[in-house]
Amino acid sequence: MRARGGNAMDDMKVRQAFLPTGQTPRFQHYLQYFPTSFYLRRHAPRNVPRFAFEYADTGAGDDVGVRHNWEALDNVKIVPRYGVTSVLPPVGVELFGTKYAAPIGVAPMGGPAIVWPGADVLMAKAAQAARIPYTLGVAGGATIEQIAAVAPDVFWLQLYRFAKNDHKIGFDLIDRAQRANVKVLTMTLDTPVRTTRSRETYAGLGREFHVTPRMFREMIVRPKWLLALLRHGYPRFATMAQYAGGRGGKFGTNDVIRFARDEMGGAFLWDEVARYRDRWKGPMTIKGILHPADAEKAVSLGIEGIWVSNHGGRQIEALVPTIDALPAIAAAVGKKATILLDSGIRSGQDVMRSLALGADAAFVGKSFLWALGALGDDGPGQLIDLYIDELRASLGQIGAQSPAEARNAKVLHPGRIEF
Ligand SMILES: Cc1cc2nc3c(=O)[nH]c(=O)nc-3n(C[C@H](O)[C@H](O)[C@H](O)COP(=O)(O)O)c2cc1C
């Protein structure tokens, strides 16, 4: 009923306030053109320079690992139960003591601003607006302090190893994170070596960043990307820049790349995890776990979250898909730790598959970059709404009335690994 003195505009506002997430007119408008993330991926190269799209989309080697992640998720099938509910279930969850709107998060990414200028802040703002976790990559394009200002309620931080001078930089990063009220600290363990991603290498992104004439030509034919560059500025490794000595700005990018190469020296070792655990006061997760024994090791050191990941297929092609390793890891530590999963998530259905097999939440990397490429600044918000909408429909379809109830489902999972 129309409120007295109201008008059509007020009516619409009131209606929107009561509509579930994802049902706003803007969401519906984009949905016509991008009904699934597949369409976002297909459209993104029209707006993003080729070298930048290749950086976002590539896997290690010839992409076999990326394909395996997708196929493994596609092969997980659920037996539904009917007659129990006819409404879309709520999908709010609590992770590490904080309530979030959905068990879906933004995975940490280095250099996303190459793909879409301003990407880090745009994803963080969208995550804050939707109340889902946002993880800043330490090799990302915004500082810890910038993200704390725009995403104070959902801010997680990922660390790589900076071992030189007895972890002076790593500990300084932790102290900055503590001051910025970062909610969860994540240490990445799955990059002990450097590997080659063929598509980005072939596109001109070598060990250092130099704009070749070909890359320049690719940029000038992408006006939306150029406008975003004007609006948001040149991509920088902002959090690391202050340690690199260089300015980290237009002329300092390679200073930071050289610094990272010289100072990082592989991924964290377990004794280092223990030292960081001692220093960091909040909850901590270990990212890149694929073996239940490694999950148990992490939990024995006081780690609260196990992040099952193969880096989205970007390290080597021969790693097992995360969804296939998940059940054994959940069985080993699921009662003692929060289980997160990423690598290959392309829909709310994939999130449901992860929940059904023991994850508490699923994280998303590449498809946020596809969304930015296809829809620019609106991309991250649209993708979050799309995945939440799909998750609610998927849970409703199998008869689960909450994310936790997905675990009751009977699952056909031919790839499941027995350890
Ligand atoms: C462009 C790009 C950069 C990434 N950089 C990092 C990083 O700096 N640190 C990290 O822990 N993971 C990084 N990842 C891996 C993601 O955190 C995540 O594990 C992966 O993207 C999930 O798989 P998906 O892309 O299939 O969703 C990166 C992924 C992409 C696509």
Nearest-CA residue for ligand 1 atom 4 is 109
Contacts of 411 (CB under 8 A, 6+ apart): 76, 77, 78, 79, 353, 356, 357
Residue for token digits 């990397």? Answer: 365
Residue for token digits 């997905």? Answer: 406
Is 179 exposed, middle or buried, given 0-12, 13-18 or 19+ CB atoms closer than 10 A? exposed
Element (H, E) at 50: helix 50-57
Sorted by where each begins, the domain ranges of the chain are 32-412
* Residue 22: predicted pLDDT: 57
pLDDT (tens digit per residue) in 213-252 = 999 999 999 999 999 999 998 888 888 888 887 544 444 6
Pocket test for ligand 1, best of 311, 342, 368 (most atoms within 8 A of CB): 311
Q: Please give the number of the atom of ligand 1 that sits closest to the Cα of 108.
A: 17
pLDDT (tens digit per residue) in 104-140 = 999 999 999 999 999 999 999 999 999 999 999 999 9
Query: DSSP E strands: which ranges in 300-412?
Result: 305-308, 338-341, 361-364, 410-412
Gap between the Cα atoms of 238 and 248, Å rounded? 7
Q: Please give the number of the atom of ligand 1 that sits closest to the Cα of 311.
A: 19
pLDDT (tens digit per residue) in 50-83 = 999 999 999 999 999 999 999 999 999 999 999 9
Nearest-CA residue for ligand 1 atom 3 is 109
Q: Is 210 a catalytic residue?
A: no
Gap between the Cα atoms of 325 and 416, Å rounded? 7
Model pTM score: 0.93
* Residue 246: predicted pLDDT: 53
Q: Please give the number of the atom of ligand 1 that sits closest to the Cα of 312.
A: 23
Catalytic residue among 68, 167, 232, 311: 311
Right CATH number for 32-412 from 3.40.50.2300, 3.20.20.70, 2.170.190.11, 3.40.50.150?
3.20.20.70
Gap between the Cα atoms of 269 and 267, Å rounded? 7
Of 8-12, 142-146, 353-357, least confident by mean pLDDT is 8-12
